[in-house]
């Protein structure tokens, strides 16, 4: 059941890529390998724990920092106005938001 939540990709089990605009955000479990392991592994850590605390569906908890990244985004970054230049990775979009924007494009 937990893996089905990830396949659907509804928030908070979605993949959010800070440097991609909303129309290029993955829908459901459709990762871009070029986005990196840290972003693509996040949904598996977000589901309720199956075994150890804080591991989600994984066996062990990886040593990953989930907070905002160091530095500031450039003004041309797609999420700059929302995050005011901070490199926030903890943001979730609903499927409805992603699909409605793709229909408009």
pLDDT tops 90 at residue 101: yes
Q: What is the pTM of this model?
A: 0.85
Q: What is the pLDDT of residue 64?
A: 87
Q: Residue 69 forms beta bridges with which residues?
A: 87
Say if residues 8 and 87 touch (Cβ distance below 8 Å). no
Q: How many independent structural domains does the chain possess?
A: 1
Per residue in 7-42, pLDDT tens? 998 988 999 999 999 999 999 899 999 999 999 999
In which domain, by residue range, is 89 found? 2-104
Q: Which of 71, 72, 47, 69 is nearest to 57 (CA)?
A: 47
Helix (H, G, I), strand (E, B) or coil at 87: strand
């Amino acid at each position: 059941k937990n893996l089905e939540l990830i396949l659907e990709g509804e928030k908070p089990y979605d993949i959010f890529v800070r440097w991609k605009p909303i129309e290029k955000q993955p829908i459901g479990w459709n990762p871009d390998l070029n986005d990196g392991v840290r972003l693509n592994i996040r949904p598996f850590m977000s589901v309720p724990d199956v075994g150890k605390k804080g591991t989600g569906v994984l066996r062990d908890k990886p040593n990953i920092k989930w907070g905002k990244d160091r530095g500031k985004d450039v003004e041309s970054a797609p999420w700059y106005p929302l995050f005011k230049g901070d490199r926030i990775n903890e943001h979730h979009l609903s499927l409805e938001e992603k699909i409605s924007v793709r229909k408009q494009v």
